[in-house]
Chain A
Amino acid sequence: MSAHAAARAGRSPASESATRVAVVAALSATTMLFASLVSAYLVRRSFADWRPLPGLWPAVLLVFAFAASGAIEAATRVEGRPRRLGLMGLALANGLYLAGALAVIRSVASGAGGLEMPFNAFVALLLGVHVAHSVLGGAFALWILRSDAEGPSQSALVLARLVTHFLTALLCAIVFLLFGLQ
């Protein structure tokens, strides 16, 4: 085996720093996806037929998202059973958010104007993409939190926290865009 091959053999795949780089890169790509959708929204809302509809649902969804962020934040600061409780809280809050968001999408799609109304179409699109990313983010969180007997490592929790906070921040931006800019 050459010196180079020996050097290669010494580096194990998927080190923590590599995972961190990959997560940041994935979040950057997600940010660009939403930036593109937001750009489209900003262009479209300047048209004459734009009619936004009021609704209470954003507040409910935000509550679930912040609950998820709070749960993962708490879980990173404690250990043992409280940490497990925090992670269960995260799963519950995420589940409630997903159910709520899907209900909202269904409601705007079948409600007055349906998806032919541009505002409704953007609500369904932006929330739908956020839901898809929440599912992916949840799956990723489960993957990095997969634990042995000692529970998930602190670095895994930090990554899961980053993803959860990112998704919450994204939802805040979407809600602000849909209702704060009117």
Chain B
Amino acid sequence: MSANRESQGFLSRYVFSLDHRVIGLQYLMTAMGMALVGGLLALLVRIQIAWPSHEFRAVSRFLPQGFDEGIMKPEFYAALFTMHGTIMIFFVLSAALIGGFGNYLIPLQVGAKDMAFPRLNALSYWIYAISSVVILVSFFTPSGPAASGWTAYPPLSALKGAIAGSNLGQDLWLLAMALFIVSFTLGGLNFLATILAMRRPGLLMMDLPLFTWSMLFASILGLLAFPSLTAAAMMLLLDRHAGTSFFIPAGLVLSGETVPGGGGSPILWQHLFWFLGHPEVYIIMLPSLGITSDLFTVFTGRRVFGYTSMVYAMGFISGMSFLVWGHHMFVSGMSPFLGSAFAVTTTLIAVPSGVKVFNWIASLWNRPLRLTTPMLWALGIFSLFVTGGLSGIWLGQTQIDIQLHDTAFVVGHFHIIMAGAALFGVFAGVHYWFPLFFGRLMNERLGAAHFLLTFVFYYATFFPMHLAGLRGQVRRVYDPYQYDYLKPLAPMNAFITWAAVALAIAQILFFVNFFWSMRRGAKAGVNPWQAPSLEWSEPAAEAESE
């Protein structure tokens, strides 16, 4: 294999490769690049919330279209939170966890030679890469990127003249999402086919690592949920360019003129969007939970407690995720009876989630823990999953959600449960499988320092948001202090922003560790963690070629 690799040129070996391992790393590297963009946007959002009337003349020199004499423009602020959400959810977390780890590890963990369809796999990555470029290019359009939120609610997203970002930027957003969905669908088909039909003879489904199970469920969720957004996006595109009115209501007035046509329903978009939106939460979460379970197996020296129930819990969570989308729409005017039904289904998800939590406790109970960096990240995921899950039970109840909807409480909640747990999953996975990727270990001290700082500043950033939300701070507002009742929250918002800045600075440790360890890290050898799963039973990719 190594001779074969050496005979390949750089392009065929690292760029247009059909090897699942190279494609997995391509996904990971691209997602890391996109994370830098998404993270930077988040910092700008936080700076605006903390100091909305402060003049940032130095920043405005780099972003002249977003600032007016040092003060951020409202439409630029809307574009920032829109693009931050879109990039982080789809182009970073989904891509890294599913595309990155999934591609690299699934064939290894099931004992297959490669993915079932290697060409389709490479095509999937390149479509994702193009979609990433498209979403980035939208920053450079004359009217700026999409600014209707990552949920792209119409009529704001349906009318080209609504705000600056509603023009070409929104079209590019739709195009990027369409490409991303195609990429994800191709990847999902491949994952399913590989896991179900390419397993090593004798390897039973119930012998698979929980990470592979999580990828199976995430692939099914993606295949069945993304079509809903595809349908909605097609209808939105027709509304914008073909004169249809699927989502444009009758009698809508824009700039003093009644919008022609109309008669459609913006709520229809919300239903279609959230039918994807909620399963998307689990598409991101499940791989992270799978990684946690597998790391508990490795670093406690005993198979995770209740393996079978873990599989069923993930299956139940996946199935239920299709029945809870309405809890994102409690304030849309839905029938209270329907709201109650969605509250019940939402609460039911706490049952399998509880199964996972108690199984994890039992796995850790009275065991000698090897507190390596990957294990620290896994414990971090455990913590975030419990904290975020508890606030999720609040938001699942109509009476409470109606009060807290669209407040900073929701932002704090989903950054802890979804974004945080998933992001920690990426870090856990990178630290754990780094020896497999590059034949070397990441530096443990740097890794532990990075974990501790990230853990502390992550909570420092997002936990106070719950308090701000409880005191009525609405989200996505350009200047919160235009409302007198929010002025006392200014110090808290400044604290959150400083914590976010510290969180961002802490990530430098990760990048330094990652790139330094690629070249200078200690040689890992075969199976440095003494893990029981199949991927460790052969030499690492890079080590093999040396």
Give A residues with C-beta under 8 Å from B.
Answer: 1-5, 7-15, 17-22, 25-26, 28-30, 32-33, 35-37, 39-40, 43-44, 47, 49, 109, 114-116, 118, 121, 124-125, 129
Contacts and interface: CB of A to CB of B under 8 A. Distances in A.
18 contacts: A7-B111, A7-B201, A8-B107, A13-B112, A13-B113, A18-B194, A21-B192, A21-B196, A25-B192, A28-B223, A29-B224, A32-B227, A39-B271, A43-B265, A47-B263, A115-B238, A118-B246, A125-B238
Contacts of B114: 13
Contacts of A37: 231
B234 A121 contact: no
Given A36-B275, A44-B268, A129-B234, A22 B117 contact: yes
Nearest to A5: B538
B189 A22 contact: yes
A38 to B, nearest CB: 9
B29 interface: no
A93 to B, nearest CB: 26
Main SS class of interface, B: helix
A111 B108 CA distance: 57
B354 interface: no
B200 A36 contact: no
A118 B232 contact: no
A18 B234 contact: no
B281 to A, nearest CB: 18
Contacts of A19: 116, 193
Contact of A115 (B189, B225, B243): B243
Contact of A25 (B193, B201, B260): B193
Interface of B: 107-108, 111-118, 185, 188-190, 192-194, 196-198, 200-201, 223-228, 230-232, 234-235, 238, 242-246, 250, 260-261, 263-265, 268, 271-272, 275, 534, 537-539
B491 to A, nearest CB: 46
A11 B268 contact: no
A36 B227 contact: yes
Contacts of A29: 185, 188, 223-224, 226-227
Contact of A4 (B111, B226, B250): B111
Closest 9 CB pairs of A and B: A33-B227, A36-B231, A4-B537, A18-B116, A18-B197, A121-B244, A18-B193, A32-B227, A17-B197
Contacts, number: 148
A142 to B, nearest CB: 16
A121 B193 contact: no
Contacts of A125: 234-235, 238, 244
Nearest to A121: B244
Contacts of A115: 238, 242-244
B226 A2 contact: no
A47 B250 CA distance: 11
A96 to B, nearest CB: 25
Contacts of B261: 116
Given A5-B538, A44-B264, A121-B238, A25 B189 contact: yes
A98 B264 CA distance: 29
A13 B107 CA distance: 10
B265 A44 contact: yes
Nearest to A10: B113
Contacts of B244: 115-116, 118, 121, 124-125
A118 B263 contact: yes
A17 to B, nearest CB: 4
Given A8-B200, A115-B244, A26 B275 contact: no
A13 B223 contact: no
Contacts of A15: 116, 197-198
Contact of B224 (A20, A28, A40, A47): A28
A118 B239 CA distance: 11
B210 to A, nearest CB: 19
B538 A4 contact: yes
Contact of B198 (A1, A13, A39): A13
Given A13-B198, A22-B193, A36 B228 contact: yes
A18 B188 CA distance: 13
Contacts of B118: 13
B537 A2 contact: yes
A127 to B, nearest CB: 12
A118 B247 CA distance: 11
Given A40-B235, A115-B244, A125-B234, A14 B263 contact: no
A13 B224 contact: no
A22 B192 CA distance: 7
A22 B118 CA distance: 13
Contacts of A26: 185, 189
A109 B193 CA distance: 40
Contacts of A12: 113
Nearest to A47: B263
A43 B246 CA distance: 10
Contacts of B235: 40, 125
Contact of B113 (A11, A20, A35, A114): A11
Contact of A116 (B200, B234, B245): B245
Given A19-B193, A29-B188, 14 more contacts: A7-B201, A11-B113, A22-B189, A25-B188, A25-B189, A25-B223, A33-B231, A40-B232, A44-B246, A44-B265, A114-B243, A118-B244, A118-B263, A129-B231
A129 to B, nearest CB: 7
B200 A7 contact: yes
Contacts of A114: 243
A1 B264 CA distance: 63
A35 B223 CA distance: 13
A18 B223 contact: no
Contacts of B197: 15, 17-18, 20-21
A121 B245 contact: yes
Contacts of A116: 243-245, 260-261
B190 A22 contact: yes
A15 B112 CA distance: 11
B537 A11 contact: no
B115 A13 contact: yes
Nearest to B228: A36
B537 A14 contact: no
A146 B178 CA distance: 29
A86 to B, nearest CB: 28
Nearest to B261: A116
